[in-house]
Amino acid sequence: MFKFEHPYFLFSLFSIVILIILHLIRKKKIKIVYFSTIYFLKKSHKKISRKLKIKQFLLFLFRLIILTALIFLISKTFWIKTGDVITNIADKSSYIVLDNRYTMLRKNSDTTDFEIAKEKIIKFFQNNPNKNYFFYKDELHLITSKEQLESFLDKTDIQYPPYLGNYFNFTKNISKYPKMDGVFVTNIVSETPPENIKLHLIAHKETKNAYLMNLYIKQIDSQIYQVETDVNSEGNSFDTTISLIKDNKKVANKILNLTPNQKQRVTFRFKGDSGKYELQLGDDDLLEDNRMLFSLEKNSLLKIVIINGGMNPIPYLDESFYLMNAIDSSPFRHYWSVTVKNEIEKDIYNSYDLFIFIDSSFPTIYQKELENIISMKKPIFISVGNSTDIEQFNQFWSPYIQWRNLKDENSKNSFKYISMISSEHPIVQKIPFIKSELIEYPIFKYLNFTTEQNITPIISMNDGTPLFVEKIVNGSKWLIFSSTLSRAWGDFPLSTHFAPLIQESILYLLSDKLKKREPYFYTYGEIHKLFPDKILKPDWYKLPNNKNGAYNTQYLFSQFLGKDRKIENSTENTQFLEGEERVYLKNWLILLLFLVLFLEHVVDLKRYFRN
């Protein structure tokens, strides 16, 4: 029985009725000629009147056939061929393709579609012995024996992604074998296959299929994460849901309206607590293609924030330039990330492990934030800056640190330089100081600490003035550098000693944290800028110093895919068929059309060639 892909075009068949009516009432305009005598016309007409009637009838019939064939062609007429479809392949070389998508693991009784498909392929091979067969796995393999075929089938397993990829993409890949027939053994099809592919459906049903492709995880700020995925739909239009599941508990849900062959990006934003996450599509056929798994580890990074007291918050400029280059060039740089802030935001103290204050004369309105940091016992690194206002500085840091005055040495002869280094402090123990070199990098501006403070000098200058000191405040370690970390107050940042000093200082301040960390979590050179929403990218990007930066969030989902998948039986009432194939009448209809057009012209040929 014929079926139609576009049955509504069949309404055009009414035009045939019109054609018949027109033919019967002969509304056709007939030319009238007044002739001298119709005696000879009548005589001639009488001789061929029977032939004329037949001709008229044939022409009418041909036009009916042409019109009907056209309507059937537009309606895409086909018929369903059932039975062992794949045995009807043309007598030439064929390649066999076994669908190894997860959907093939759907069970019918105790047997999966995948197992059924393998049996079918062997049966097909045995039933059609006089052909050349190729088995498609990544490329075509010539099959010469049943044993060889079984061996290939044994090696073929369900995998993600399947080596076929998407069925439709696969058909593009095999376009290099256009002259061969393909036997595609699958259990679900949502699109008409190319003409040189014979489908062997071992299970067929109304297709409502969607699957997930790609997963992008972005960290919006210290706590908020964004996850994106692409929902690809096949088959009919339908509504479904996509859920964000954390530790088997649904935390967010979205309703999707899917139309055939559509790609739709879905975004979830969530507070990034550690745990195992899953994106899952619901209510469709292929549950196993519908899951995307990923994981987040809490505090997977050591985070350093650089708080710039000056008005310029841009990293790698002014006071932060030498500091950040020192951090970047650290052999341990993968341990941390750096954020530059010109003000301390509320609610984020807990996410940072180390606070570096540069150019540190802050207005007292931030006093409360400072106290919060101190109350959390976070380590702090402080350096003064060239715009430091001594009064404002003392006011802000009071009562933890106090400076007496600003020393400004303009005479070259009285330049200070580092000469006294504490041999016991762990920061300087690993740094091979070369005193002769240190003289070349004088410090000509610095602040004097007040004597009453309980400070431990690590580095002092040649006149004994402490330059770099440690102070324990509320049980946490503070390191204080009493000159600038830029060349504004001295040349020390140009020294080869500078970067190791900064790096060792940070290691020292974070040493307690580092002991707890696993080397598994790593990233490097990552910068949280001021407007992270606008600049975060999941891809690699260039740092201002032209080095490659990388994203700090782990794409752990890739490690979960294919491991933790659970294959569930389809609970829907699936109709299993032995084999089904759509046979389109397109070619036959076109042939018929041309044949009838040709015949029509042959019958009416005299009209064209009379003269």
Partner 1 sequence: MDYLKEIETILKRTSPHILSALSSQTDDFFGKQPSKKIGQGVEFNHYSQYTEGENVKNIDWKVFGRLEKLFIKKFERDSNERFLFLFDTSKSMLFKGNNSVYSKLEYSFISAGVLTYYLLQSQHPTAYQFSNYFTGYQGERKDFSFFIEQFEKQNIHSALNWSFQENIHKKGRKTVLIFSDFFDDIDFLVSKIKKLSEQHSFHFFHVLDSSEIDLAEKDLTKYIDLESGEEIITDPSEIYKIYKEEIETHIKQLKTSILSSGFHYHQFLTNHKIEENLTSLLK
Q: What distance in Å separates the CA atoms of residue 93 and residue 130, rounded to the nearest whole number? A: 10
Stretch of 29-37, 348-356, 370-378, 486-494 contacting partner 1, by CB under 8 A = 29-37
Stretch of 37-45, 280-288, 388-396, 458-466 contacting partner 1, by CB under 8 A = 37-45
Among 179, 249, 516, 610, binds partner 1 (CB under 8 A): 610
Phi then psi for 476, rounded to 5 degrees? Answer: -110, 155
C-beta closer to partner 1: residue 20 or 52: 52
Give residues 53-92 in contact with partner 1 (rule: CB under 8 A). 55
Q: How far is the CB of 35 from partner 1 (least distance, A)?
A: 4
DSSP track, 122-155: HHHHHH--SS-EEEEESEEEEE-SHHHHHHHHHH
Give residues 365-384 in contact with partner 1 (rule: CB under 8 A). none
**Under rule CB under 8 A, residue 607 binds partner 1:** yes
Q: What distance in Å separates the CA atoms of residue 113 and residue 122, rounded to the nearest whole number? A: 14
Q: Is 330:499 a contact under the CB 8 Å cutoff?
A: yes
Q: How far is the CB of 32 from partner 1 (least distance, A)?
A: 5
Stretch of 24-32, 93-101, 356-364, 407-415 contacting partner 1, by CB under 8 A = 24-32
Q: What distance in Å separates the CA atoms of residue 216 and residue 586, rounded to the nearest whole number? A: 44
Among 8, 24, 25, 34, binds partner 1 (CB under 8 A): 34
| Residues touching partner 1, count (CB under 8 A) | 26
Contacts of 540 (CB under 8 A, 6+ apart): 548, 549, 550, 551
C-beta closer to partner 1: residue 56 or 364: 56
Among 38, 376, 591, 602, binds partner 1 (CB under 8 A): 38
Contacts of 489 (CB under 8 A, 6+ apart): 384, 386, 443, 444, 445, 446, 483
C-beta closer to partner 1: residue 52 or 142: 52
b/e burial code for range 232-243 (CB count within 10 A of at least 16 → b): bbbbeebebebb
Q: How far is the CB of 58 from partner 1 (least distance, A)?
A: 13
**Under rule CB under 8 A, residue 50 binds partner 1:** no
C-beta closer to partner 1: residue 155 or 607: 607
Among 30, 255, 311, 365, binds partner 1 (CB under 8 A): 30
C-beta closer to partner 1: residue 533 or 604: 604
Q: What distance in Å separates the CA atoms of residue 148 and residue 151, rounded to the nearest whole number? A: 5
**Under rule CB under 8 A, residue 27 binds partner 1:** no
- Residue-level length of the chain: 611
Task: Please write down the HEC assignment for all residues of 436-498.
Answer: HHHCCCCECEEEEECCCCCCEEEEEECCCCEEEEEEEECCEEEEEECCCCCCCCECHHHCCCH
Tokens 């699958």 locate to 186
Between the CA of residue 364 and those of 125, 400, 402, 476, what are the distances in Å? 85, 14, 15, 22
Q: How far is the CB of 81 from partner 1 (least distance, A)?
A: 46
Q: What are the tokens at 96?
A: 């066999």
Q: What pairing do the DSSP bridges indicate for beta strands 466-473 and 263-271?
A: unpaired
Amino acid letter, residue 277 = Y
Q: How far is the CB of 21 from partner 1 (least distance, A)?
A: 18
Among 8, 25, 27, 28, binds partner 1 (CB under 8 A): 28
Q: How far is the CB of 600 from partner 1 (least distance, A)?
A: 14
**By three-state DSSP, how is residue 108 classified?**
strand
**By three-state DSSP, how is residue 404 classified?**
strand
C-beta closer to partner 1: residue 179 or 607: 607
Q: How far is the CB of 597 from partner 1 (least distance, A)?
A: 19
C-beta closer to partner 1: residue 28 or 534: 28
Q: How far is the CB of 140 from partner 1 (least distance, A)?
A: 59
Give residues 547-606 in contact with partner 1 (rule: CB under 8 A). 604, 606
**Residues engaged in binding partner 1 (CB under 8 A):** 28, 30-45, 47-48, 51-52, 55, 604, 606-607, 610
